[in-house]
Structure 1
Amino acid sequence: MTPTPGKKTVASRSPLTNGTWVLVADGKKALLLENTGDAERPVLEVRRADRQDNPATRAQGTDRPGRFAGPGGGQHGTAAPTDWHQLAEDRFAHELAALLYRQAHAGGIDRLVLVAAPRLLGELRKALHAEVTARVVAELALDLTGQPVDEIARRIAAAAATRG
């Protein structure tokens, strides 16, 4: 169908075309969604939800930081305390990267949008296999895990429109 005179057709800038998968994650929770709608009216459906128990570092590690010998042989310094909470978040990013690889390798994901809290997004980028990276069509450094699915779709479309 050709457009009537005076009407312009505009290609959608939304990365949420039909069949696009979306990973929405923070350091504790992840949703893997699939768009069953189209770019203009995305309908995200939850395909998988993961949650990790990750209490604050103060609740995970109670030992005092270790000490190390100074130049004179006495104990002069302390080692930096271990951030158990951050280690768990990094491990979660690597688990998500492995999940995405399995899905992509099996042919389940052709297009992928990554939406994650900024630090997790950085860790996820480092952990992604090249086969998954080749399928990433958009990345958003946002924490949307607490949002309803329709709001997630709206925010992704809005972010894509401002970048175009």
Structure 2
Amino acid sequence: MALMAKGTLILVADAEKALMLENTGTPDAPELSVLARHEVPAEALAGATDRPGRMADKAPGQRSALEQADYARIAGEAFAAELAGVVEAEAATRAAPRLVIAAPAQVLGAMRPHLGAVARRALVAQCPKTLTGHTLPQIARIVAAELDAA
């Protein structure tokens, strides 16, 4: 049974925003405080203003449309990589870090390859849930339940 010990870092993220939290309470009565807020810049989500490209087909006079890039997905993946660096830096400043990441599965998948050695060692749980719309007490309760179930 893994408890949410005092000093446990919790990253609550989705593809557009994130909160870095710390448990300042006890394992039995967790109390989360916000260490940092991160958001994707609005211009990164705006995407292209041009129409999708076209290419010539083999037959004369025929052209095919190309799919437009998914700029929101690209920005989300870049944001996940950036968050991995933030988590690594925060974990490196602590003597014995404990880390919990709560994010949708797509964000967790985009973040994993970018996590450094310190963050990987500190990681005690991953919650594949979107908790960015919850209050801090709700996040504490959900994360504590996830840790108890682990």
If the length of structure 1 is used for normalisation, what is the TM-score?
Answer: 0.79
1:27 Cα offset (Å): 1.2
Larger radius of gyration: 1
Structure 2: distance between partners of 1:56 and 1:104: 27
Structure 2: distance between partners of 1:156 and 1:115: 8
1:24 maps to a residue whose letter is: V
Matches within 5 A, 1:3-152: 13-54=1-42, 59-72=46-59, 76-107=63-94, 110-152=97-139
Residue of structure 2 in register with 1:9 after alignment: none
Classify the secondary structure of the residue corresponding to 1:46. strand
CA 14–101 in structure 1, closer or farther in 2 if over 3 Å, else same: same
Deviation string 1:37-80 (CA, Å, 9 cap, x unpaired) is 222111111111112234796x5323222223434576543332
Deviation string 1:116-156 (CA, Å, 9 cap, x unpaired) is 12211111112211221111000001111111111001011
Structure 1: distance between partners of 2:35 and 2:44: 28
Unaligned runs of 5+ in 2: none
1:91 Cα offset (Å): 1.1
Contact kept in structure 2, 1:25 and 1:31, CA below 8 Å: yes
Higher helix share: 2
> Pairwise CA RMSD of aligned residues?
2.3
CA 106–158 in structure 1, closer or farther in 2 if over 3 Å, else same: closer
Classify the secondary structure of the residue corresponding to 1:134. helix
Structure 1: distance between partners of 2:103 and 2:52: 31
1:14 Cα offset (Å): 4.1
Unaligned runs of 5+ in 1: 1-12
Classify the secondary structure of the residue corresponding to 1:93. helix
Contact kept in structure 1, 2:104 and 2:128, CA below 8 Å: yes
The runs of 4+ residues in structure 1 deviating greater than 6 Å are none
CA 108–86 in structure 1, closer or farther in 2 if over 3 Å, else same: farther
Contact kept in structure 2, 1:67 and 1:75, CA below 8 Å: no
